[in-house]
């Protein structure tokens, strides 16, 4: 999965609803909703966005198309907020953009019953795999657009990569039920039924391809030869271990 590189022409507006303060950016390919490298969650959040989006696509879930956004210092911006100016300065270079879904609306708790149980189960399964703490009634991170459900905002996933020294087999394989607290948890009654098919779609080659799409400069290098390549393999190894049976995020049938 090779990400296209686009160039920011100007910043149209900042989005202050979340802690990361993304911006809408005009590029040669249209408007992109852009996550900034200088935001509080830093580069690991961009890594998580890319990897989780790639995994979602591999199991036929919709995420907005991604692109790398090159942001020059001093870019024209229509949003003159002083703090945003500082953030844009700290984010010069390569950032991560998503296709702006015109006409999309936020998912609301009252929409839950409209989500098919198979779709809900696939979303909950993915969130269990990547340890996504969001997708709650307070923070759904879902959009309706053109009659379809789209997944967004995965920067808080893969929390293990904030402390690689603490990554051990017990933490990788810690059992939890991803339905607990999940907005779609009550609709995800087919986790066990779909588990084998979803797992088969995420072979080691797929994991490597998804992780390979992360730019080198986003990754924290490891000591030794090929420091970035070793870091990529570390991501693959953690995800692969979480996919081994019995998967710690899939309740037993009837559970």
Residue 22's pLDDT is what? 93
Instruction: Give me the residues paired with residue 5 across strands.
Output: 68
| Residue among 127, 183, 184 nearest 158 (CA) | 127
Q: How far is residue 181's CA from residue 204's CA, in Å, rounded to a whole number?
A: 30
| Beta-sheet strand order (sheet of 148-151) | 105-106, 142-145, 148-151
Average pLDDT score over the chain: 94
Residue 16's pLDDT is what? 73
Q: In sequence order, what E strands does the chain have?
A: 5-14, 23-27, 30-35, 66-71, 76-77, 93-99, 105-106, 142-145, 148-151
Residue 87's pLDDT is what? 92
Instruction: Count the Cβ atoms, other than its own, within 10 Å of residue 92.
Output: 17
| Band of pLDDT at residue 52, cut at 50, 70 and 90 | very high
| Residue among 107, 106, 95 nearest 7 (CA) | 95
Residue 18's pLDDT is what? 61
Percent of the chain whose predicted confidence (pLDDT) is above 90 = 88
| Residue among 181, 241, 206, 202 nearest 122 (CA) | 202
Residue 4's pLDDT is what? 96
Task: Look up the pTM and report it.
Answer: 0.96
| Band of pLDDT at residue 255, cut at 50, 70 and 90 | low
Give the model confidence (pLDDT) of 87-144 as tens digits. Answer: 999 999 999 999 999 999 999 999 999 999 999 999 999 999 999 999 999 999 999 9
Residue 19's pLDDT is what? 62
Residue 254's pLDDT is what? 65
Q: How far is residue 34's CA from residue 50's CA, in Å, rounded to a whole number?
A: 12
Give the model confidence (pLDDT) of 172-206 as tens digits. Answer: 999 999 999 999 999 999 999 999 999 999 999 99
Q: Is the pLDDT of residue 1 over 80?
A: no
Residue 121's pLDDT is what? 98
Give the model confidence (pLDDT) of 7-38 as tens digits. Answer: 999 999 988 766 678 999 999 999 999 999 99
| Band of pLDDT at residue 71, cut at 50, 70 and 90 | very high
């Amino acid at each position: 999965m090779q990400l296209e590189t686009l160039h920011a022409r100007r910043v149209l507006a900042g989005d202050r609803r979340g802690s990361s303060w993304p911006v809408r950016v005009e590029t040669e390919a249209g408007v992109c909703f852009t996550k900034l490298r200088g935001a509080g969650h830093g580069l690991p959040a961009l890594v998580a966005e890319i990897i989780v989006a790639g995994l979602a696509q591999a199991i036929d879930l919709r995420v907005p198309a991604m692109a790398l956004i090159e942001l020059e210092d001093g870019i024209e911006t229509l949003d003159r907020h002083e703090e945003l100016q500082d953030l844009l300065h700290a984010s010069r270079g390569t950032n991560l953009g998503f296709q702006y879904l015109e006409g999309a609306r936020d998912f609301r708790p009252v929409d839950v019953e409209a989500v098919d149980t198979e779709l809900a189960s696939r979303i909950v399964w993915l969130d269990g795999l990547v340890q996504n703490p969001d997708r709650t009634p307070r923070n759904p991170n879902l959009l309706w657009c053109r009659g379809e459900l789209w997944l967004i905002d995965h920067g808080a996933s893969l929390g293990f990569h904030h402390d690689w020294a603490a990554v051990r087999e017990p933490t990788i394989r810690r059992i939890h039920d991803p339905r607990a607290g999940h907005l779609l948890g009550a609709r995800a009654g087919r986790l066990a039924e779909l588990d084998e098919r979803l797992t088969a779609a995420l072979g080691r080659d797929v994991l490597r391809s998804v992780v390979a799409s992360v730019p080198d400069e986003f990754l924290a290098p490891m000591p030794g030869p090929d420091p970035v390549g070793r870091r990529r393999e570390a991501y693959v190894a953690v995800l692969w271990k979480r996919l081994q049976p019995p998967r710690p995020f899939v309740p037993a049938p009837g559970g």
